[in-house]
Amino acid sequence: MSENNKSTNSKDEQLEQFRVDDEGKKLTTNQGVKVSEDEHSLKAGERGPTLMEDFHFREKMTHFDHERIPERIVHARGFAAHGEFELYESLKEFTKADFLQNPSKKTPTFVRFSTVAGSRGSAETVRDARGFATKFYTEEGNYDLVGNNIPVFFIQDAIKFPDLVHALKPEPHNEMPQAASAHDTFWDFVANNQESAHMVMWAMSDRAIPRSFRMMEGFGIHTFRLVNDQGKAHFVKFHWKPVLGTHSLVWDEAQKISGKDPDFHRRDLWESIENGDYPEYELGLQIIAEEDEFKFDFDILDPTKLWPEEDVPVKIVGKMTLNRNVDNVFAETEQVAFHPGHVVPGIDFSNDPLLQGRLFSYTDTQLLRLGGPNFHELPINRPVCPFHNNQRDGFGRQTINRGQVSYHKNSLAANTPSPASEEEGGYVHYQEKVEGRKVRSRSESFKDHFSQATLFWNSMSEPEKQHLKNAFSFELGKVKSKSVQQQVVDMFGNVSLELAATFAEAIGAESPSGKESEGYEIFPCVKPA
């Protein structure tokens, strides 16, 4: 045996102890503790907030947040621009947020558009959801509206987010396909996590191939709260409406453009701003009074559901104009750090379990991606208002703090920096009453997975329906597992027998059997006792 072969065999033997086959094994934490439940985060009551003591969720999410360096785990392929936001009318009735009070005030903004699945080097006109994240540099601090161009999401609970992205990303054994969902693991996830049905319908539609960032809607997805200066709260969903209207590419156009210009969307945005043809988006709000929380036949906290606009109209309240390109893509576009937990007084959270998990995940991700706790000091992330606290040191520290005191409470610096009262602009969380046992569970009101997907299908024109049929046929035609193909056919038979039968025939699967959803009220939202 040659020395080279001996060396190779020795290395293989050395690595053997680290090779693990997970098939057929019980799920455990990284500490070896067997896990009894992996579908639901630990909550205070079925519709209550996620609890910090959920060690399994925290370990799972922390590991996921730190899996890739240096680019973002998702939304790696992005482009951004600066702008400003102007209010049309005061929203004092609904919120005390300062930037939503005075129509004569202009608030600086920074917006990053992105694909979700692909790497930084992937093409831009792929079939995918798009990120639409906006940072408002307000006089009360930074407010981040972190959304997508689709109003719903694949999953209902943040504990499933690592699973979704693992399934959506290139398959780990061969790192293929890039920036695409036409493969086995994605569709296997869909078939076995049927809460994804509504989002998949959007993802297979023309909405997943926007013509331009300038012609793309944005949605905050989650249910948030607006709180006014009297302490009264309303539930709210946020919308961005492009002034140019919403337009898409068809699949054949998208494929040809990807081959000719993989930078098509960023080039379009860059050139339009350079030419003075500034993209504009109107901000819209859907608002529900707290006393109306349970009057709908869906749960308003479910992130796989939208609020039908005919039931909850969108109130247009302002306009954002993107009027300046970045000076340096890395320093601005890549180093910008968004977080749905970056809020200002007057904007608060709901118990949406996907939102609750994101409030943990985003800070955790930035710690790794941007090298430590001082990512807020990078120029693109710095608020326009002063900030003072007792945080010190750490990677990338730029602030030079004077004095000997870095703790609270203290007497050596007259107990400063000191907390601000609500009257002084201090952030006070909305005092929602929370009761319930600590459980890993999902509210019954979250268990209707198909009625809104059916409504989406029924809202399509005939050409749009044909595009959906073509998309399912193409995507599932790339799936190698006949079992996965059949599972998806059977699943979407619950949405539309016509749709499922069409792509079943195209991929050589059996037509679905069963009865499709006929409306909303399958698991209506009922106020807890």
State the CATH number of the domain containing residue 371.
2.40.180.10
Whether 498 is covered by a domain: the verdict is no
**Can you say whether residue 415 is alpha, beta or left, with left for phi > 0 and alpha for psi between -120 and 50 degrees?**
left
Percent of the chain with pLDDT over 90: 72
**Are 112 and 79 within 8 A, CB to CB?**
yes
Max CA-CA distance within the chain? 83
Q: Which DSSP state fits 25? A: P
Cβ-based burial of 224 (10 A; exposed 0-12, middle 13-18, buried ≥19): buried
Q: How far apart, in whole angstroms, are the C-alpha atoms of residue 98 and residue 101?
A: 5
528, pLDDT greater than 90 = no
Lookup: tokens for 514: 């069963």
The residue ranking higher by pLDDT, 15 or 23, is 23
The mean-pLDDT minimum among 105-119, 130-144, 413-427 falls in 413-427
Q: Which DSSP state fits 88? A: S
Q: How far apart, in whole angstroms, are the C-alpha atoms of residue 491 and residue 484?
A: 10
Predicted pLDDT of residue 305? 98
Percent of the chain with pLDDT over 70: 93
Q: Which DSSP state fits 66? A: T
490: confidence class by pLDDT, cuts 50, 70, 90: very high
Predicted pLDDT of residue 384? 87
Whether 25 is covered by a domain: the verdict is no
520, pLDDT greater than 60 = no
- Return the active site residues: 75, 148
| Residue from 523, 120, 137 nearest 333 by CA | 120
Predicted pLDDT of residue 177? 96
**Are 146 and 366 within 8 A, CB to CB?**
no
First to last CA, the chain: 75
Q: Provide the strand spans (E) within 291-426.
A: 315-325, 347-349
Q: How far apart, in whole angstroms, are the C-alpha atoms of residue 177 and residue 183?
A: 7
The residue ranking higher by pLDDT, 23 or 5, is 23
326, pLDDT greater than 50 = yes
Summary mean pLDDT of the chain? 91
| Residue from 283, 293, 176, 186 nearest 234 by CA | 293
- Residues with Cβ within 8 Å of 303's Cβ and at least 6 positions away in sequence, in order, are 152, 153, 155, 156, 221, 222, 223, 352, 354, 355
Whether 385 is covered by a domain: the verdict is no
Lookup: tokens for 182: 């036409």
Predicted pLDDT of residue 18? 64
Q: How far apart, in whole angstroms, are the C-alpha atoms of residue 221 and residue 286?
A: 11
Buried b (16+ CB within 10 A) or exposed e, 147-181: bbbbbbbbbbbbbbbbbbbebbbbeeeeeebebbb
pLDDT, mean of residues 305-331: 96
The residue ranking higher by pLDDT, 368 or 300, is 300
Q: Strand, helix or coil at 135?
A: strand
**Are 130 and 216 within 8 A, CB to CB?**
yes
- At residue 424, what are phi and psi to the nearest 5 degrees? -90, 5
CB atoms within 10 A of CB 326: 20
pLDDT, mean of residues 324-335: 92
Predicted pLDDT of residue 292? 97
Per the structure, the count of domains in the chain is: 1
Predicted pLDDT of residue 348? 96
**Are 434 and 45 within 8 A, CB to CB?**
yes
Provide the whole-model pTM: 0.88
Predicted pLDDT of residue 19? 67
Which residue blocks in 49-171 are alpha helix, DSSP H?
55-65, 161-168
How much is the CA Rg of the chain, to the nearest whole Å? 24
The residue ranking higher by pLDDT, 330 or 347, is 347
pLDDT, mean of residues 114-134: 97
Q: Which DSSP state fits 381? A: T
Q: Would you state the torsion angle of the CA atoms of residues 499, 500, 503, 506, taken in this order, to the nearest 10 degrees?
A: -120
Q: Provide the strand spans (E) within 344-482.
A: 347-349, 438-440
Whether 313 is covered by a domain: the verdict is yes
92, pLDDT greater than 50 = yes
Whether 373 is covered by a domain: the verdict is yes
Q: How many CA atoms lie within 13 A of 284 on its CB side?
A: 19
Whether 219 is covered by a domain: the verdict is yes
Q: Provide the strand spans (E) within 22-126.
A: 42-44, 78-87, 106-115
The residue ranking higher by pLDDT, 51 or 20, is 51
Whether 463 is covered by a domain: the verdict is no
- Full domain range(s) for residue 318: 59-172+208-377
Buried b (16+ CB within 10 A) or exposed e, 378-402: bebbebeeeeeeeeeeeeeeeeeee
> Which residue is it, tokens 């005191």?
405
Whether 436 is covered by a domain: the verdict is no
The mean-pLDDT minimum among 14-23, 43-52, 190-199, 416-425 falls in 14-23
